[in-house]
Structure 1
Amino acid sequence: MDPADQLTSAAATGNAELLRTLLEGGVDADAVNRFGRTALQVMMMGSDRVAELLLSYGGNPNVRDPLTGSTPLHDAARLGFLDTARVLVRFGAQVDARDSRHLRPMDLAEQNGHLDVAELLRSS
């Protein structure tokens, strides 16, 4: 399997051990898999450990989906993953980034009833 595909698969399944091994072995945290996505774009959102690993190895917290314009922070906010959102913000995720519908992560958090995430983003 291609290293980028291995990395994104590990991120998507929350396999932090394999993720660390691949990153320590030199796989680029922003490597693009065969579907054109990075590990941060497909990571298991509930795993702040996965987010922290990818970001500490240079992953871009502001990578955008080419179709929707959303960032990983948009996804974390929409789904209500406070800890993952907190990690993304700490590593420089743009809280005011707008997707293709002109929505900010905070807007998505509010729309989906994740007021704790919205408050984090409002105060960042």
Structure 2
Amino acid sequence: MTLEDDLTTAAATGNTAAVEQLLRSGAEVNGVNQFGRTALQVMMMGSLPVAQLLLKYGADPNVKDRSTGATPLHDAARTGFTDTVRLLVHFHADPNARDNKNCRPIDVAGGNIEVINFLDTV
């Protein structure tokens, strides 16, 4: 197992302390795990502290999933985490990024009015 595998596991479980310790130990913030995904792609979308830490360390907010073309902003919009959506946009996530089905994050936000209203203004 690599540091990047450990980093993605910590991010996916929302373990901010472990994420920080792994980044300080040399884990590459944009490195991929054994499944080809970065920590930002697999992080628990509702864990704002993990997202803030990864982005502070230079995580690419526009990284696309190899199979779906979705970005972390698509995932945060789809799951309705407005604070994570705002944070990703603040760190230059592209609100007009298109996935493999030609959908933007606003298109996959479902009925989440707060996410839709925010994305409609950027």
TM-score band by shorter chain is over 0.9
The answer for unaligned runs of 5 or more in structure 2 is none
CA distance in 1, matches of 2:47, 2:119: 19
Amino acid at match of 1:45: M
Residues 85-104 of structure 1: pairs in structure 2 closer than 5 A: 85-104=85-104
Aligned structure 1 segments of 4 or more residues deviating by more than 3 angstroms? none
Shift of 1:119: 1.0
Shift of 1:104: 0.4
CA RMSD of aligned residues (A): 0.7
What are the Cα deviations for residues 70-101 of structure 1, in whole angstroms up to 9, with x where unaligned? 00000000110001111100100000001011
User: What's 2:70 paired with?
Assistant: 70
Correspondence 1:48 to 2:48:
yes
TM-score where L is the length of structure 1: 0.96
The SS at the match of 2:85 is helix
What is the number of residues matched between the two proteins?
122
CA distance in 2, matches of 1:117, 1:23: 30
Amino acid at match of 1:96: N
CA distance in 2, matches of 1:79, 1:18: 24
The answer for unaligned runs of 5 or more in structure 1 is none
Identity of aligned residues (%): 56
Correspondence 1:2 to 2:2:
yes
